[in-house]
Amino acid sequence: MGAPQQITGRDRVLAALTHRTLDRVPITETCYWPETIERWRAEGLPKDADPMDLFGLEFAVLGYDHSLLRPREVIEETERFVIARESDGTIRREWKGRTATPEFLEYPLKSEADWSQMRGEVLAEPERRVQGLKDAWPRHREAGRFMAFGASEPGWYCVRLMGFEAFGLAVLEKPDLLRQIMQAMVRQFADAFDCATKQGMEPDGVMIYGDLCFRNGPLVSPKHFRELILPYQRDMVRHARKPVIWHCDGDVRLLMPFVAEAGISCMQPLEARAGNDVRTMKRQYGEGLAFMGNIAVEAMSAGGEQMEEEIASKIGIAKEGGGYIFHSDHSVPPTVSLENYTKVLELVKRYGAY
């Protein structure tokens, strides 16, 4: 008899997404703050170490360029910030020396006439959109990771073109405009996805990014979500023919009944501070959905019994029958020490074992 085949991270993630079990739950993290890495370097993290390799992360996202492909133009720069017109047409203030959400000063889509011009930019040059993936793709594939093709969520694409206020008004007053934008965005995704596949970058799944919820609930009513946005999420799922994971910050609970209906396989990151609890969601939706995340970074920062209870109580329920991937409930801030994070991974392997 030959030696048993080694289980890869890709194997574990695929098993979780299809509600199967192998040796343990998969482990990943999609964002460490730069300040976190800086702190960890001071606490002993090797200078040249890649956290993905060092911590054995098993899930990688490589996103295509979904912008308008416009040239970047710096408008003002000081010691504290840079104001620039970005490739997506927005004018943003980016802060120097600290991690912070950029300030959006202007959005490119202000009228339906703007959209008539912009549609061609949205659909332009699919091959150019995937060029930036070529170097990193083989490295993650060789490491045995699950490879996710990163894309915008259709409703969120509208928000990024017109801003929150204009989007909210358009939901009520100009839904046909939103449909045109989302239809074009889905075609952009499909063209980029097909280009990547033809060039040998065939993904294992798709990760769509769209923060359609705030801390107290969704940007749109469940009714408007189901009628307006869900069909275009479903179109992306149908084209991919792969598991689709939806990253959505905030309190997603009011939208959860429609997620499986869209064909989405997994929800991430399930912010605990916004009221999401994977233990409850597992009982309600676990038959049709997988979950990634929900381990509160506040507990990871606190360490000790609070951290262990957070991991043990949530993973113990979420892993049942497969369908769970470890991840923080958003991203790892510098309040989490290297010692605590190392202990987190030890606890995940212990309580996430099958």
The whole-angstrom separation of Cα 221 and Cα 118 is 28
Question: Which residue has 């047409």 as its token pair?
Answer: 89
Total of domains in the chain: 2
Q: Do residues 187 and 244 share a domain?
A: yes
Is 148 within the bounds of a domain? yes
Token pair listed for 316: 């113990």
Is 3 within the bounds of a domain? no
Query: How many other CB atoms are found less than 10 A from the CB of residue 176?
Result: 10
Is 229 within the bounds of a domain? yes
Is 246 within the bounds of a domain? yes
Chain centroid to CA 200: 23
What residue numbers bound the domain in which 103 lies? 70-107
- pLDDT of the chain along its 354 residues, tens only? 555 679 999 999 999 999 999 999 999 999 999 999 999 999 999 998 999 999 999 999 999 999 999 999 999 999 999 999 999 999 999 998 888 889 999 999 999 999 999 999 999 999 999 999 999 999 999 999 999 999 999 999 999 999 999 999 999 999 999 999 999 999 999 999 999 999 999 999 999 999 999 999 999 999 999 999 999 999 999 999 999 999 999 999 999 999 999 999 999 999 999 999 999 999 999 999 999 999 999 999 999 999 999 999 999 999 999 999 999 999 999 999 999 999 999 999 999 999
Q: Do residues 24 and 87 share a domain?
A: no
Q: Beta strands 266-268 and 244-247: pairing type? A: parallel
Is 337 within the bounds of a domain? yes
Of the three residues 107, 125, 158, the one that is the final residue of a domain is 107
Q: What is the CATH number of the domain that holds 45?
A: 3.20.20.210
CA atoms within 13 A on the CB side of 235: 18
**Which residues are CB-neighbours of 38 under 8 A, at least 6 positions away?**
334
Of the three residues 78, 107, 136, the one that is the final residue of a domain is 107
Token pair listed for 236: 């992306």
DSSP letters spanning 142-201: HTT-EEEEEEE-HHHHHHHHH-HHHHHHHHHH-HHHHHHHHHHHHHHHHHHHHHHHHTT-
Q: Do residues 115 and 103 share a domain?
A: no
The SS3 of residue 77 is strand
Is 99 within the bounds of a domain? yes
The whole-angstrom separation of Cα 127 and Cα 10 is 26
Q: Do residues 102 and 121 share a domain?
A: no
Q: Do residues 225 and 286 share a domain?
A: yes
Measured CA to CA in angstroms, residue 263 lies from 52, 103, 156, 181, 233 at distances of 29, 33, 18, 21, 8
CB 220 within 8 A of CB 250: no
Query: How long a stretch of residues is the chain?
Result: 354
